[in-house]
Amino acid sequence: METVLTLISSFPTVVYTIPLAICLVFWLFSLFGVFDFLDVDIDSEAGLAGLLATFGLAGVPITLSLSLLFLFAWSLSLFSTAWLLPWLPAGLVYNAAGAAALVISLIFSVYLTGKITRPLSRLFVTHEARSNRSLVAKYCEITSLTVNEQFGQAKVEDGGAGLIISIRAAAPNDFKKGDHALIYEYDPDKNLYFISKQD
């Protein structure tokens, strides 16, 4: 146990031990509901988020990316501290090799993290639901025989089977089945759409 503590607290591994410990504390608090790791993502183009996105780590929560990044960097650095650096003499050579191991570990960890986060990004896609009001200013195809102030139905293309909506229009009018009309207003209380002639 003492050997492990010595390794993780010695240069260069200690540089990654500290941020990894912070990540572990964060996940521990998340487990008890103090934080929500899904609240933060790296879609932003500014600051740290933009930097991570530059290296292909976009599309997943920033907490997940950083945790994987530090875990890989810490593991690679620990390997070099335990198996490679002890062969070198103490002093300038050892410190230079430790600094090189620090940088190389980070480079490889960025690559490994990117390999994992790219397929995972599909799990964190946010699908925005279409709102009723979003149909305003779109065109519809009338499916009922007539349209008046009490009755009317139409179909709106949505890229799939289409949406059937209830429509209304001032009477008298010459709307008939198969006509196309413009939706210009939505009544959320009655869930009705008001249409006018297509320009």
Reported as a single tens digit per residue, the pLDDT across 29-64 is 777 765 554 444 444 444 555 556 666 666 677 788
Which range has the worst mean pLDDT, 15-24, 57-66, 79-88? 57-66
For residue 125, what pLDDT is reported? 61
Token representation of residue 28: 């521990």
Q: What is the CATH number of domain 132-197?
A: 2.40.50.140
* pLDDT on residue 91: 79
Q: In this structure, what DSSP letter does residue 181 have? A: E
DSSP class of residue 15 equals H
Reported for 88-96, long-range contacts at CB under 8 A and 24+ positions apart, including other chains, are 95/11
> What would the pLDDT profile of 99-147 be if each residue is shown by its tens digit?
999 999 999 998 898 888 888 777 766 555 567 888 898 999 999 999 9
In 3D, which of 41, 113, 48, 49 has the Cα closest to residue 75?
Answer: 113
CA distances, 54 to each of 45, 115, 158, 171 (Å):
9, 14, 34, 58
Q: Indicate whether 179 pLDDT > 90.
A: yes
CA distances from 65 to 114, 115, 124, 153, 167 (A): 8, 11, 13, 49, 48
User: Reduced to 3 states, what is the DSSP secondary structure of residue 198?
Assistant: coil
Is the pLDDT score of 178 beyond 50? yes
Better-scored residue on pLDDT, 157 or 91: 157
Share of the chain above pLDDT 70, in %: 81
Structural domain boundaries in the chain: 2-124, 132-197
CB contact set of 129 (below 8 Å; sequence gap of 6+):
none
Closest Cα to residue 16, out of 83, 126, 108? 108
